[in-house]
Chains A and B, each alone.
Chain A
C-alpha cells in the first residue's frame, strides 16, 4: 500500500476527527488533565492511571484492533528495568479487552532473540491467559511496510510494523531508562521498536532528528510510561543502576509524558529537564507536544 500525500492528509484528518470525537470532555464532568501521574504498585497504578485519563474506552472503540508497544527488546528480567513491567502491559491489555477490543497485539521489534525476550521479560507469561491478546516479536522485514514521512527532516521514509497502517489503535507502553545515545529512552525513543531499520538511526542519521521525524508519522493514541522502576545508568540494555520511582505516567501528548519522565529520577547522577533532552526538544519545537511540565495540568494520586 502506498500512501499519497492526499491519502495521508485524509487519514490524518480522519484521525484528528476521531480523536476529537472521542474526547470525553463533554461527557465527563471531570477537569481534563494532560497527564495522570499515579504512584503505586505496577498493576494498581496502571489501572488508576487509565481511569484518571478518562478510561481506555476513550481510545478504544468496541471491536477495534489494538497494538500495544511495550519495550521488550532485551532478554532481561523485569528487575533490570530494561523492559516494561509485565503487569503494566497485562493491565493495559486486560483493559483493552474489557473495553471491547477485538484483538490486542503486543508487539516489538526485539534486539535479541525473540523467544528469549518474550520469555525473560515476563510479558508473554503475564498476557497468556487474557483471551484475544497475542504477544509477538517481529524480527523479519516482511512484517514491516514502508511509509513516507512527509514532514521528515532527515528521514524520508521508514518501514514500520504494518499493523499500524491497518487501522489498529496504538498504545505506547515504554519503560523509563537511560540511553547511551539519546540520553533517555522513553516513549518517543521507544517508537524505534516499531520500525525495521534501526541501525541507520545510529549510523546514518542524526538520531535525535530521526526520532522526531518518526514521531510525525507514528502517533500513539496514548502513552503510558512505566516508571515503576527506572534504569538510571547503563541503558538501554543494562545492567545499570535501577531506581524505584513507583510511578505510572499516562497521557495523550507523547512529549509531555516523556518530559515528565525525565524529571522523575536523576539520570547518570544528574537532574535534567525535558528541554535538555535533544530529541524531546526537537519534537517539541516541531509541534509534537508540550515540553514544560510546569505548564501541564497533572492529576497526581496514590494507588
Chain B
C-alpha cells in the first residue's frame, strides 16, 4: 500500500515534469512539488526577505505534518521513493551493518538545516545543495530527461521499419528533440552518491543528511498518529532491525518520534501484531525530543554564518553586481535573483530551445546551477515564455508573451574585428536576416555597407549570435548591457520609458537589394547610392 502511494507520487512528479514544456497550460502548476517544499520556501523567503506567493504552498505541507506527523518522507517525497525503489534494486537482501556512531550521524541533518537557514538569513541561497526536491528535479532535468529522449529516439529508430510496414506515417517520422546540458555528469555523480550511501543503511540520506527531513522531524511530534506497542511484544527486535529510519530504540517499545516516518514497516513485520499507529493527542513522551545539543546548535549557527561570509565576500559578488551573465527573460534583479533561485532546473527543462544552461563556477558558489542563456548554443524563442511560468519561487517572473518580449535580456554587440563583412569585406547578412526585430541593418560606412546593431530594437534573443557563420566564438554576441531586470511592474512600460521598441516590422532594409540576388542595372545603383565605392563582389541572386 505504501509502495503504491510512493509510486503514484513519483509518477505524478514525473508527469508534472514532463508537462513542463512551452505548451504548459496556464492552469497547470508543473512546479507544484517544489512549491510544496517548506525548506525551499523558507530558504527563498528568508534569503529574499520577502513573502513569495508560490512558496506559501509549503504551508500545506507544514500543516499536514503538524497534524499527521512526518508522513511526507514515506509517502510523498519522490526522492524518498527513488531511494526506496533503487535500494530494492541494488541492495535488496544485502547484509548491512548498523553504523557505530549512529546518534551523532543523525544530528548531521539538523546541522545542515541550521546552516542552510542561517545562510539564507545572511542572504545566501544554499539549501538547493541538499534539498531533495531540488536535487531530484535537477537530476531529472540534467540526466533523466536527456537520457529518456535518447532512449525513446533509439526505440523509434528500431521500430521504424515496422511503423513503415504498417503505414503508420506519423510514428515512422517521429523524432524528439535532444536537449543537452553542461552539468549532467556532476548531477549524476551526486545522485549516485546518495543512492550508494544505502550500501551502509537503508535510507542513509533520509536518516542522516536530508535537511528537509530534519525540518519535518522538528515539527512532526505534534502529529496525531504515533507508534504504539502493546503487551504482546516479545522483544524479538524484528521491528527494530527492519525500521528503514532506525527510529526504534533499544527497547522495541520506544519510538524516536522525530525519526518515525509512519511507514508502518514495523507493524507489518511484527509476528505478534503488537504494533499499531492509533490516533492520539499526547505529545509523545521521552523520545520525542530531537537529540541535538546546544553546542551543536551553536556550531551550525556559526557554520551558516561562516558559509554566508565565504560565499558573499568574494570577487564574484562584485562581478555579480555588474551582471556578467545573460539571465532568462523576466529574471528579477541579480542580487534578488541569486537569493530567490532554488536551482531546481525546471526552467532549463522547459526551455524550448535548450538555450538555458546551468552555471558551474561562472559566478561563484552563490551562482551554482543558476540558469543562464547560452546564445551561441541556441537562441531564446520569441514565442515561448515558459521559463517564468514554471519557476517555483518566481526568481524568473511569470510573464505574458507581450511582457516577456519586452523583458530585454541584453544587447547584441558586433565584434568588427571578427565580422566577415567588417573585417574581410565579404558579403554576409545572416544576422540581419535572422533577427526577428530587424535590429540589425546595413548602413554605408566609409563607402561600404556594414551591419550595425540598433540597440533600441534588440532584446537580446540571441538568434544572431547562434547563426553567425564565423567559426568558434561568434562575431556578434549578446552582452547583458541594457538588460531590463524588474522585481515588479511592467516591462512594456519600462521599455517604453527607455524608448525601446521590439516590433517585428520591416525596418529600413533598403540597402539589402544589391546584395540580394537580383541583377541591378549599373546606373540605377549609382543613382541610388552615389557616394558608394564599388562593392567587393557582384550582387547575389539577381542579375
Do B383 and A75 have beta carbons less than 8 Å apart?
yes
Do A142 and B519 have beta carbons less than 8 Å apart?
no
Question: In chain A, what residue has the closest Cβ to B467?
Answer: A111
Given contacts A203-B469, A275-B543, contact A239 B506 (CB under 8 A): yes
Chain A 108-150: CB-based contact to B (< 8 A → 1; otherwise 0) = 0000111010001000000000000010101110110000000
Do A278 and B173 have beta carbons less than 8 Å apart?
no
Which one, A116, A120, A180, contacts B429 given CB within 8 A? Answer: A180
Do A268 and B516 have beta carbons less than 8 Å apart?
yes
Q: Which of A180, A240, A270, A281 has the most CB of B within 10 A?
A: A180
Number of interface residues of A (CB under 8 A): 45
Do A272 and B542 have beta carbons less than 8 Å apart?
yes
Q: Give residues of chain B (508-529) contacting chain A, Cβ–Cβ below 8 Å.
A: 509-510, 512-513, 515-520, 524
Does A236 interact with chain B (Cβ within 8 Å)? yes
Do B517 and A183 have beta carbons less than 8 Å apart?
yes
* Residues of A contacting B429 in the complex (Cβ-Cβ under 8 angstroms): 180
Report the Cα distance A61→B509, complex, angstroms.
Answer: 46
Which one of B241-249, B275-283, B433-441 contacts A?
A: B433-441
* Residues of A contacting B437 in the complex (Cβ-Cβ under 8 angstroms): 239
Do A136 and B173 have beta carbons less than 8 Å apart?
yes
Question: In chain A, what residue has the closest Cβ to B21?
Answer: A115
Chain A 175-197: CB-based contact to B (< 8 A → 1; otherwise 0) = 00011111110000000000000
Give the A-B pair count, Cβ closer than 8 A.
Answer: 121
Which one, A140, A179, A237, A279, contacts B516 given CB within 8 A? Answer: A179
Q: Give residues of chain B (407-450) contacting chain A, Cβ–Cβ below 8 Å.
A: 429, 432-434, 436-438
Chain A 256-287: CB-based contact to B (< 8 A → 1; otherwise 0) = 00000000000111101001111101000000
Do A239 and B505 have beta carbons less than 8 Å apart?
yes
* Residues of A contacting B353 in the complex (Cβ-Cβ under 8 angstroms): 113
* Residues of B contacting A277 in the complex (Cβ-Cβ under 8 angstroms): 517-519, 541-543
Does B381 interact with chain A (Cβ within 8 Å)? yes
CB distance from B389 to the nearest CB of A (A): 17
Which one, B157, B381, B518, contacts A113 given CB within 8 A? Answer: B381
* Residues of B contacting A136 in the complex (Cβ-Cβ under 8 angstroms): 169-170, 173
* Residues of A contacting B512 in the complex (Cβ-Cβ under 8 angstroms): 180, 233, 268
Does A105 interact with chain B (Cβ within 8 Å)? yes
Do B543 and A270 have beta carbons less than 8 Å apart?
no
Do B543 and A239 have beta carbons less than 8 Å apart?
no
CB distance from A117 to the nearest CB of B (A): 11
Report the Cα distance A208→B512, complex, angstroms.
Answer: 18
Q: Which of A207, A239, A277 has the most CB of B within 10 A?
A: A239
Does A238 interact with chain B (Cβ within 8 Å)? yes
CB distance from A242 to the nearest CB of B (A): 9
Interface majority SS on B: helix, strand, loop or mixed? loop
Do B383 and A179 have beta carbons less than 8 Å apart?
no
Which one, B169, B504, B524, B543, contacts A281 given CB within 8 A? Answer: B543
Does B83 interact with chain A (Cβ within 8 Å)? no
* Residues of A contacting B169 in the complex (Cβ-Cβ under 8 angstroms): 103, 105, 134, 136
Does A59 interact with chain B (Cβ within 8 Å)? no
Does B175 interact with chain A (Cβ within 8 Å)? yes
Does A234 interact with chain B (Cβ within 8 Å)? yes
CB distance from A183 to the nearest CB of B (A): 3
Do A236 and B433 have beta carbons less than 8 Å apart?
yes
CB distance from B169 to the nearest CB of A (A): 4
Q: Which of B433, B438, B519, B541 has the most CB of A within 10 A?
A: B541
Given contacts A180-B433, A233-B509, contact A138 B517 (CB under 8 A): no
Does B540 interact with chain A (Cβ within 8 Å)? yes
CB distance from B515 to the nearest CB of A (A): 7
Q: Give residues of chain B (492-515) contacting chain A, Cβ–Cβ below 8 Å.
A: 504-507, 509-510, 512-513, 515
Does B352 interact with chain A (Cβ within 8 Å)? yes
Do B383 and A278 have beta carbons less than 8 Å apart?
no
Report the Cα distance A277→B520, complex, angstroms.
Answer: 10
Report the Cα distance A191→B504, complex, angstroms.
Answer: 27
Does B177 interact with chain A (Cβ within 8 Å)? yes
Do B173 and A138 have beta carbons less than 8 Å apart?
yes
Do A182 and B540 have beta carbons less than 8 Å apart?
yes
Do B438 and A239 have beta carbons less than 8 Å apart?
yes
Given contacts A143-B173, A276-B542, contact A184 B436 (CB under 8 A): no
Do A278 and B519 have beta carbons less than 8 Å apart?
yes
Do A268 and B540 have beta carbons less than 8 Å apart?
no
Do B541 and A208 have beta carbons less than 8 Å apart?
yes
Does A241 interact with chain B (Cβ within 8 Å)? yes
Question: In chain A, what residue has the closest Cβ to B174?
Answer: A136
Q: Give residues of chain B (344-362) contacting chain A, Cβ–Cβ below 8 Å.
A: 352-353
Do B516 and A181 have beta carbons less than 8 Å apart?
yes
CB distance from A77 to the nearest CB of B (A): 10
* Residues of B contacting A179 in the complex (Cβ-Cβ under 8 angstroms): 516-517, 541
Q: Which of B429, B518, B520 has the most CB of A within 10 A?
A: B518
Do B542 and A278 have beta carbons less than 8 Å apart?
yes
Given contacts A139-B175, A270-B520, contact A180 B543 (CB under 8 A): no
Q: Which of A207, A268, A272, A281 has the most CB of B within 10 A?
A: A268
Report the Cα distance A272→B177, complex, angstroms.
Answer: 41
Do B517 and A116 have beta carbons less than 8 Å apart?
no
Question: In chain A, what residue has the closest Cβ to B503?
Answer: A239
CB distance from B511 to the nearest CB of A (A): 10
* Residues of A contacting B352 in the complex (Cβ-Cβ under 8 angstroms): 113, 116
* Residues of A contacting B519 in the complex (Cβ-Cβ under 8 angstroms): 276-278
* Residues of A contacting B540 in the complex (Cβ-Cβ under 8 angstroms): 180-183, 207, 278
Question: In chain B, what residue has the closest Cβ to A272?
Answer: B518
Do A116 and B543 have beta carbons less than 8 Å apart?
no
Do A268 and B170 have beta carbons less than 8 Å apart?
no
Report the Cα distance A203→B469, complex, angstroms.
Answer: 9
CB distance from A156 to the nearest CB of B (A): 23
CB distance from B23 to the nearest CB of A (A): 8
Chain A 85-121: CB-based contact to B (< 8 A → 1; otherwise 0) = 0000000000000000001010000001110100010
Given contacts A113-B352, A139-B175, contact A134 B518 (CB under 8 A): no
CB distance from A235 to the nearest CB of B (A): 8
CB distance from A78 to the nearest CB of B (A): 14
CB distance from A286 to the nearest CB of B (A): 15
CB distance from A102 to the nearest CB of B (A): 9
22 contacts between A and B (CB under 8 A): A75-B383, A112-B381, A116-B352, A134-B173, A142-B175, A180-B429, A180-B512, A180-B540, A183-B516, A183-B540, A239-B438, A270-B513, A270-B524, A272-B518, A275-B543, A276-B519, A277-B519, A277-B542, A278-B517, A278-B540, A279-B517, A281-B543
**When A and B form their complex, which 9 residue pairs have the shortest distance between CB atoms, in order from nearest?**
A183-B517, A183-B541, A268-B513, A239-B504, A182-B541, A183-B542, A183-B518, A182-B517, A134-B169
Q: What is A's interface to B at a CB cutoff of 8 Å?
A: 75, 80, 103, 105, 112-114, 116, 120, 134, 136, 138-140, 142-143, 178-184, 203, 207-208, 233-234, 236-241, 267-270, 272, 275-279, 281
Q: What is B's interface to A at a CB cutoff of 8 Å?
A: 157, 167, 169-170, 173, 175, 177, 352-353, 381, 383, 429, 432-434, 436-438, 469, 504-507, 509-510, 512-513, 515-520, 524, 540-543
| Extra pairs beyond A116-B352, A120-B383, A184-B517 (7, CB < 8 Å) | A113-B353, A134-B170, A181-B517, A268-B513, A268-B516, A269-B513, A278-B519
